[in-house]
Amino acid sequence: MTVTTTTQPAGRVGTPSLHPSHRMLALIALAMGGFGIGTTEFVAMGLLPEIAAGLSVTEPVAGHTISAYALGVVVGAPLIAVLGARLPRKPLLLGMVAVFVLGNAASVIAPTYETLIAARFLAGFPHGAYFGLAALAAAHIAEPGKRAKSVALVMMGLSVANVIGVPVAAWLGQHFGWRAAFALVAIIGLVTMAAIWRWVPALRGMTLTRPRTELGALRRPQVLLTLAVGMVGFGGMFAVYTYISTALTDVSGLSASMIPVALMIYGVGMVAGNFAGGALADRALVPGLFVSMGALTCLLVAFVFALGNPVTALLGLFLIGAAGASMVPGLQTRLMDVAADAQSLAASLNHAALNLANAFGAWIGGVVIAAGFGYRAPAAVGAVLAAGGLVVLVVAVLVERRSARVGSIR
């Protein structure tokens, strides 16, 4: 593949000029990593009953495997971003996918609940850093004016995972045991490594930084506030999605055989939302985030009642997936904008924040269920969390405007 370097607008120095077909293949290769990550992250939620039965634990206890994965993301994202600050970008991407493959292979052979917890932690370790670096790589090779759309295409792998990867893996898990689902993910990871090696350019023009520079992101109020938006707001979506299988069977009256279809419907919503979120972020970044967060809050409130009917439950699941996914390109792009020279850590921390939301959402959903409030309750507490994310976004905008006014006076 021929790659040349051309003069680009400010902030895009060294961006490779690729043939459109090569650019698309590179973005698809990066998205394949998201596809594998999304499949392993979300399929565990759809297979909680099978995992619980296979390991002889309760479903809320089996939910700790989801929290372990999320904790791996939270720990791995900053460590890899900081310690890998000076490493060449493409080899770093390949190394992270290799760790992902190892973690999922370990999940397949884990003999006990405790070893599965450790394997899920390892599988989640490269998650945030991979998405952060893949997003930066996508923005690096993007056409001018299409940064958010390129980032959205990489994030699309996560959405498509919920349309194809998660339902297929869930079907495998139901018919051949839950370990088969993780075996499929390990294979997807190997294919991803081959695709990245073949199609992603060397990325030599991407800036290498220093650990101290990357850590500077943590001193930027807008970085921290943007992370908090995702960490709080996304918890609402995960509070519902973690226990969606039992909610749909016990409350909505769906048969267990329909759960893969329901997960697919949720995934289609994520694909639609991801497309819309990318376009909206390129057009109006912050207003688009307000629209997404507001919609998610309202939909989670409505879902408390929609669960009572299988048709409205599936429609609500589609819309929740769309609203949640529409936030991701905007949050990722905003972090790259406000992080200045610490983009790798900031972009990686976005997915760490989202997985903190995953862990907290799964935990609070389990708490209200265990307290006897039933499987509608996670949607109610989820709506509160989404509204909290909206409040944090308001605070972020007010702080930014105040800083701008003070800067203009000086």
Judge whether residue 334 has pLDDT over 60: yes
Identify whether the C-beta of residue 161 lies closer than 8 Å to the C-beta of residue 294.
no
Judge whether residue 85 has pLDDT over 90: no
Judge whether residue 13 has pLDDT over 50: no
Q: pLDDT value at position 63?
A: 79
Secondary element (H or E) of residue 243: none
Q: pLDDT value at position 292?
A: 92
Which whole number is the average pLDDT over 159-186? 89
Assigned domain for 8 exists:
no
355 HSE (CA, 13 A, CB side): 33
Comparison of pLDDT for 165 and 2, the residue scoring more? 165
Q: pLDDT value at position 249?
A: 92
Assigned domain for 249 exists:
yes
Query: How does residue 393 score in pLDDT terms, banded at 50, 70 and 90?
Result: very high
| R_g of the chain computed on alpha carbons | 20
Q: pLDDT value at position 409?
A: 62
Helix (H/G/I), strand (E/B), else coil: 16 = strand
128/137 Cα distance (integer angstroms) = 14
Q: pLDDT value at position 194?
A: 96
Comparison of pLDDT for 6 and 55, the residue scoring more? 55
CATH assignment at residue 361: 1.20.1250.20
Q: How many domains does the chain have?
A: 1
Query: How does residue 410 score in pLDDT terms, banded at 50, 70 and 90?
Result: low
Assigned domain for 274 exists:
yes
Judge whether residue 381 has pLDDT over 60: yes
Query: How does residue 4 score in pLDDT terms, banded at 50, 70 and 90?
Result: very low
Assigned domain for 12 exists:
no
Assigned domain for 363 exists:
yes
Assigned domain for 11 exists:
no
Assigned domain for 7 exists:
no
Write out the two tokens for 216.
């500077």
Identify whether the C-beta of residue 321 lies closer than 8 Å to the C-beta of residue 403.
no
Domain span at residue 259 reads 17-401
Give the distance, in angstroms, between the CA of residue 302 and the centroid of all CA atoms in the same chain.
Answer: 24
> Cβ-count burial of 211 within 10 angstroms (0-12 exposed, 13-18 middle, 19+ buried)?
middle
Task: Measure the CA dihedral 395/401/407/409, to 10°.
Answer: -120
Assigned domain for 33 exists:
yes
Q: What is the pLDDT of residues 15-46, one digit of tens each?
A: 456 677 888 899 999 999 999 998 998 788 77
Which whole number is the average pLDDT over 240-269? 88
278 to 47, 270, 284, 288: CA distances (angstroms)? 30, 12, 10, 9
The count of other CB atoms within 10 Å of the CB of residue 347 is 28
Query: How does residue 218 score in pLDDT terms, banded at 50, 70 and 90?
Result: confident
Identify whether the C-beta of residue 147 lies closer than 8 Å to the C-beta of residue 333.
yes
Q: What is the pLDDT of residues 279-325, one digit of tens each?
A: 888 788 889 899 999 999 999 999 999 999 999 999 999 999 999 98
